Every structure is written in C-alpha cells, then in structure tokens.
Amino acid sequence: MNAPLLPPEVPLGEVADFINGYAFKPEDWSIEGLPIVRIQNLTGFGTEFNRTQLEVPRKYRINRGDLLVSWSASLGVFRWQGPEAVVNQHIFKVVPNLKKIDLDYLRHAIDASIHEMERFTHGSTMKHINRKEFLDHRIPLPSLNEQRRIAAILDKADALSRKRQESIEYLRELRSALYLSTFGDPVQNERKWTAVTLGGALDAGYIREVQDGNHGERHPKVTDFVATGIPFITANCLRDGRLNIENAYKLDAVWLSKLRVGFAQPGDLLLSHKGTVGEVAIVPPNVGPVILSPQVTYYRLGPELDARFLLGSFESKSFQTLLGFAAEQSTRAYIGITRQRELSTILPPLALQKEFSKVAGWVDNSIARYRSHLVQLEELFSSLQHRAFSGQL
C-alpha cells in the first residue's frame, strides 16, 4: 500500500501578515480611550488595561475574533475575545489570507510552530522569537476542507483541557472567597486586625528573611544552563498559585557555592516582582533547594505567620492592585525588595490563620488532582497536534 501523499509546506509568512504592535510610551496612556492590549492581558496575569486616546494607524487596531501572537516573555497564540482595542509592541496582529488558510487551522498551526520553536528561542530569562525565523517557519497546507477537519478535531481535544482548567480556576476562586470570608480585605482591613508593613513584619520576626536572586555579574548566563540540575526560578515558573519546576532552567550544583544569595527552601513563599509582577507560590516540601533569579523574591516566615495565609493576602485583588500600581512607577514592571517592605498586610490570630490554612489545603489538594488530569489531557492534545502537522491525523 502506498503511503498517503503529504500536503505541501509553506512558510507562515506566505499565508498571513504578522503586524507587530505599536510602541506605546507611558505618556500615551490615559484613563479613557481604547484599551491597550499587553501580553499580561492575553495570558490572564493582568486584567487591568492601560488606555489611550492617541490616534494610531488602523493596522494596530483589533476586534473580537482576531488572532494575536505574543512573541516575547510569554509565547503563545490567542483569539481576542474583548472589545475593539489597540495592540502593544511584542504582540503580532495576525491578518490571514483566508483564500489559502482556515483561521482555526492557522491558530493551531501557529501554536504547534511556537512549541517547536521554543527549543530555539533567544534569551535566557526573557524568551523571544526572531521575526524572520518565525515567518520562515514552514507548516503543512492541505486543502481548506482538510484544514477544517483537522481544526475541528483539535478544537474538541482543546476544549477538554479548557474545561478542566476552568474547574481549577473555580477552585482557586473558592480559596480566595474562603480567605475573604475569614479575614476580609487585607488592604481595607475593615475587621481591624493588627496591620503591619512587610518591612515591619520582618523587623518583628513574623518574617525571618526576604531575599531575591543574584544581580549583575553573578547572574547565571544562558551558557551556564544544563539539562538537569538545580532549578533556576524565573517569574515564568510561578503560575496559578504554584511553582512550576518543569518550566525552570537548570544549573549545575556547583552554583550553590558560587552564588551568594537567592536560595529558596521548602515552605518559602515566592513572589514575582519583575516583568510579570504578583505571581505567588509556596515551595513544596518535596522540592530540594532552588535558585532564584532577580525576578523572584522569597519570604521565609517565622512561626507566627502561616504561608498559606500570607499567600492568600498576596493573591487578594486589593493587594494585587497595590503591587500593579507600585510596579508601574518604573519603566518596566518592577517592584524591588525595598519597595516591597512598604506594602501592608494584616496579622490575624495564628489559630485563625491555621484554621484557614487547613481548609485551603483541602482545596489545594483538589486543585492538584485536577492538574494531574489536566496534564494527561494536554499530553493527548499534544499527541494529536503532532499527528495533525506531520500528516498522520
């Protein structure tokens, strides 16, 4: 039996235009006007929009249903579901040639291309895709009917993962609701708990130590990373309230003696403070030492402060708003340790913190089980995606 003929391959740049977003400056922002879509608005790690009344060329405007590709820091393809907006730099607006390619097929093809290209992305702690290499990346181009058939199969598999992810988000919202019902808003402090700055909590021993990773010449370079070793934790490793070791670069164990600071331990609370600001996670007990990048701070707590409680404080909407405001005072989203010390938290009785922590732990265990199932669904999708773009589906 003859093997089936494989479809022709074409560069991505032949089936769509990829328009890089507008380079807005802080002085272009305003309270009113069109939303400016930044990478954090696509990834879900920042829902607040900057806006602009600046007249920018129409090619930078997007509408519901448009495809967008984030090509720096967080790599991904997204279907815009918001109102009319303008797209920021580091995001491609995708304008497909619909006579050649189906929009949903193109979305899956770009997603598969990004996963393949991630192995060769440029930058150590800041990933980005080279535009020319991206446009030259070749994808199979079967007939439009075959494209629609493949896209429909991948859409169904992807929907299973999305539903499981939605369940995880509902559980995270439940944990947040439990925090608010127990303690109230940690910034407004309407229940009149003892309030203290993070610096004050450090001075009083509630927090034993606060430290981020090594800066300057001590910072590891991309050539220092190895296949296996000590996890090197960047902001991208903190997602959805957990530490994702799988996403971490690795360093040889010799770096434990070469570096001066930035060694996090099980039980430490981590906070991303540069680039992506406000992601939090607790280093789990089954993880050995990890080395932090300058993008992440660890909080090592004393016996009178519970890590799950403080994580709930950091995750609260009001605290995240404070973080976002403080971070935007710099040219790039950043809030260093000195400024973190000025942020406030509350200190309810330890017994109440522990009671909350116990219930939150049950929720976290459910989230862990759902995540395990999500991994299986994502592996199924990856397998189907590989088959689809190698002519086997």
**Domain end position, chosen among 99, 118, 141:** 141
Is there a domain that residue 1 lies in? no
Task: Report the interhelical angle of 144-183 vs 103-117 (nearest 10°).
Answer: 70
Q: How is residue 49 annotated by DSSP?
A: P
Residue 4 located in a structural domain: no
Q: For residues 148 and 218, state if they share a domain.
A: no
- For 99, residues 6+ apart whose C-beta sits below 8 A from its C-beta are none
Is residue 85 within 8 A of residue 140, CB to CB? The reply is no
State the burial class of residue 228 (Cβ atoms within 10 Å of its Cβ: 0-12, 13-18, 19+): exposed
Phi and psi (nearest 5°) for 101? -140, 140
Amino acid identity, position 176: S
Q: Is residue 2 part of a domain?
A: no
**Is residue 335 domain-shared with residue 199, that is, in the same domain?**
yes
Q: Two tokens at 349? A: 């009785």
Decide if 225 contacts 124 (C-beta within 8 A). Answer: yes
Report pTM: 0.75
Among candidate residues 109, 124, 141, the one where a domain is terminated = 141
pLDDT range class, residue 163, cuts 50, 70, 90? very high
The values of phi and psi at residue 266, to 5°, are -55, 135
Same domain membership, residue 198 and residue 186? no
CATH number of the domain that residue 113 is part of: 3.90.220.20
**Residue 27 domain-assigned (yes or no):** yes
Rg of the chain over CA atoms, in angstroms? 23
296 neighbors 233 (Cβ within 8 angstroms) = yes
| CA 289 – CA 300 distance, rounded (Å) | 13
Q: How crowded is the C-beta side of 45, counted as CA atoms within 13 Å?
A: 24
The two tokens of residue 241 are: 């309230």
Which whole number is the average pLDDT over 161-170? 94
Same domain? 131 vs 214: no
In degrees rounded to 5, what are phi and psi of residue 107? Answer: -60, -45
Mean pLDDT of 52-62: 93
The answer to whether residue 268 scores a pLDDT higher than 70 is yes
Between 146 and 129, the higher pLDDT residue: 146
**pLDDT tens digits along 280-322:** 999 999 888 899 999 999 999 999 999 999 999 999 999 998 8
Amino acid at 277: V
Residue 302 and residue 180 share a domain: no
Averaged pLDDT for residues 346-366: 96
Asked if residue 335 is part of any domain, the answer here is yes
Domain that holds residue 353: 144-193+348-393
pLDDT tens per residue, range 193-243: 999 999 999 999 999 999 998 877 777 888 899 989 999 999 989 988 889
Q: What number of other Cβ atoms are within 10 A of residue 136's Cβ? A: 12
Q: At what angle do helices 103-117 and 350-388 cross, to 10 degrees?
A: 110
Q: Which two tokens stand for residue 300?
A: 């090592």
Q: How far apart are the first and last CA of the chain?
A: 18
Pull the structure tokens for residue 225.
């990373």
Backbone angles phi and psi of 239, in degrees to 5:
-145, 135
| Rounded-to-integer distance, Cα 206 and Cα 197, Å | 11
Query: At residue 51, does pLDDT exceed 70?
Result: yes
> Does position 2 have pLDDT exceeding 70, yes or no?
no
Average model confidence (pLDDT) for the chain? 90
Kindly state whether residue 171 falls inside one of the protein's structural domains.
Answer: yes
3-state secondary structure of 272: strand
Are 372 and 304 within one domain?
A: no
217 lies in the same domain as 303: yes
Domain end (from 141, 157, 172): 141
- Whether 337 and 354 map to the same domain: the answer is no
CATH assignment of the domain containing 149: 1.10.287.1120
219 lies in the same domain as 267? yes
pLDDT score of 325 more than 50: yes
Residue 124 has pLDDT above 60, yes or no: no
In this structure, are 381 and 328 located in the same domain? no
Q: Is residue 255 part of a domain?
A: yes
Position 126 scores a pLDDT of 45
Q: What is the pLDDT of residues 66-101, one digit of tens each?
A: 999 998 877 899 999 999 999 999 999 999 999 999
Query: Do both 79 and 100 map to the same domain?
Result: yes
The whole-number pLDDT of residue 305 equals 97
* Number of domains the chain contains: 3
Please check whether residues 343 and 322 belong to one and the same domain: yes
Q: Residue 87 domain-assigned?
A: yes
Number of other residues whose CB lies within 10 A of the CB of residue 307: 17
